[in-house]
Amino acid sequence: MAMGMMLGQLARSWGWIVLRGVAAIVFGVLAFAWPGLTLTVLVLLWGVYAFADGLLALFVAFQLRDGGRPMWTLLLIGLLGIGAGVVTFLRPNMTALVLLAFIAAWALFTGFLQIVAAIRFRKFITNEWMLVLSGALSVVFGALLLARPGAGAMAVVWIIGGYAVLFGLFLTMLGLRLKSLTSSIPKVA
């Protein structure tokens, strides 16, 4: 399937992208609102977010078609998010260090895949920088967590909250930009 057709499918799925962004913003605001959360509650809150984000990404991956197959980058992001959520629910008493390494790996991998997706779409949409920026933000966030794993739990809450709000804003902006493209894309039966 041509990239133009895939872009049409992506534009028609703008609402799911906005929903992913809103979920990230809600998670970030909750992290700021309750900075004294225990690590276990933070772990579970993050697990819910990662699982929900994974489900939404999987849904979008199966809505989009790349040569008749689901879009592999979103499919991987979705599976990774669901896996991250399940592992978090099964092991809520992880140490802070293991949790940080887990979140860092997730952010690095997800960010890399979003940058790859943006590069694929750069010829077909303007402002793909929003997806590149959200991917780069994920990579920087993951690298910071790996570089400073011993940071205090309170600092981690603020970093995670800030990351989630910014990431959510970028995804929401991308979704709204895609919404503006829906009127210029012909309907496909």
Confidence of residue 51 (pLDDT cuts 50, 70, 90): very high
Confidence of residue 2 (pLDDT cuts 50, 70, 90): low
pLDDT recorded at residue 55: 93
Identify any residues that bridge with 65 across adjacent strands, giving them in sequence order.
70
75-120 per-position pLDDT tens digit: 898 999 999 889 888 877 665 567 777 788 888 999 998 898 888 8
Q: Apex CA 91: angle with CA 168 and CA 149, to 5°? A: 60
pLDDT recorded at residue 139: 93
pLDDT recorded at residue 43: 76
Whether 82 and 54 have beta carbons less than 8 Å apart is answered as yes
Question: pTM score, two decimals?
Answer: 0.56
pLDDT recorded at residue 153: 57
Provide the residue ranges of all domains of the chain, joining segments of one domain with +: 3-182
pLDDT recorded at residue 66: 66
Cα distances from 79 to residues 25, 91, 149, in angstroms, run: 21, 18, 25
Q: Which two tokens stand for residue 175?
A: 């979704």
